[in-house]
Amino acid sequence: MTPFVPKRLEQIAFGLFLTFFMTFIITGISTVLAVGADAPGLAGLWFRAWMSSWAVAFPAVLVVAPFVRRILRVIVRPA
């Protein structure tokens, strides 16, 4: 596949994919734990939980990431 995301958008693309997969996994686990793996309509419940979580997580990561980078610059020792 030919790369198509400009370098200046790499951090946004990173946040998009990171939150996509993390919310998918976490909401899946949480939904199964809450209603059981054999619950009727599990896929629909999971999907709604995933979409609402992703809608919050993606913008949150874009806002929080710069603060985390600053913290890491303070606490991580150079190589």
Q: So what's the pLDDT on residue 39?
A: 96
Its pTM stands at 0.83
CB 65 within 8 A of CB 11: yes
- Domains identified in the chain, total number: 1
Q: What is the domain range of residue 60?
A: 43-72
Examine residue 1 and state whether it is found in any structural domain, yes or no: no
Cβ neighbours for 46, distance < 8 A, ≥ 6 positions apart: 27, 28, 31, 32
pLDDT, one tens digit for every residue, the chain (79 residues): 899 999 999 999 999 999 999 999 999 999 999 999 999 999 999 999 999 999 999 999 999 999 999 999 999 998 8
Examine residue 33 and state whether it is found in any structural domain, yes or no: no
CA atoms within 13 A on the CB side of 56: 8
Examine residue 7 and state whether it is found in any structural domain, yes or no: no
Q: So what's the pLDDT on residue 79?
A: 87
Backbone φ and ψ for 60, nearest 5 degrees, come out as -60, -45
Examine residue 51 and state whether it is found in any structural domain, yes or no: yes
What is each CA distance from 79 to 6, 68, 76, in whole angstroms? 29, 19, 9
